[in-house]
Every structure is written in C-alpha cells, then in structure tokens.
Amino acid sequence: MNKKSIAQWFISDELWQKIEPLLPPHKTRHPLGCHRRRVDNRAAMNAIFFVSRTRCQWNALNATGICSSSSAHRRFQEWVAAGIFERLWQNGTGWLFD
C-alpha cells in the first residue's frame, strides 16, 4: 500500500478535535523517567482506525509507516481499559470503529 492510499484512512482534523479531549493524559511509568519517546496519540489512533476499518492484522501496521503494531496495540489496550472507545460511542463517534 502506498502512502496516499493509507492516508485515506486517517482521522480528519475535525474528528480529531472531538476525540483528543477524551484521551487520558500520559503518566510516565519508568521510575527514572528514561524510556523511548511515546508514539503520538493521533498516530496511534490513526493506526487503530486503520486496523478497525481495513480488518488487517495488527502486524500489518508495520508496513504502513503509521506506527508500529506493538505501539498501536498497546495504546488500544490502554484506551480500552480507560473506557475511551465507550465514550466515543456515547459521543456519537463510535461508528468509526464498526
């Protein structure tokens, strides 16, 4: 897949403005504060949206360049535990992940 065809699956700026306020703030968990830089929330959501809409496997994300499959899946799990997708449904944006 080329970058243009992948970009069609990205979340619009308008939609991102509705999603971003629902996301919990990130808390550094490493006691020394040293870790790899965290993947941007929007990139992670684009990756989750891509997997949801294309029904591809998580590992297929590695070929897209959106973000790594492990980062996207980890963020998906964090956000599921935090109830983010439930809130998206309540706010009328959950249809994106059908």
For 27-52, write each residue's pLDDT tens digit.
766 666 666 778 999 999 999 999 98
pTM over 0.85: no
Q: Count H helices, E strands: the chain?
A: 5, 0
Q: Specify the DSSP class assigned to residue 30.
A: S
Domain boundaries, the chain: 39-98
Alpha-carbon 6 to chain mean position: 14
Burial of 51 (0-12, 13-18, 19+ CB in 10 A): buried
| Contacts (Cβ under 8 Å, ≥6 apart) of 48 | 72, 75, 76, 79, 97
Q: Say what the pLDDT of residue 62 is.
A: 93
Q: Model confidence at 6, in pLDDT bands (50, 70, 90)? A: confident
- The whole-number average pLDDT for the span 46-64 is 92
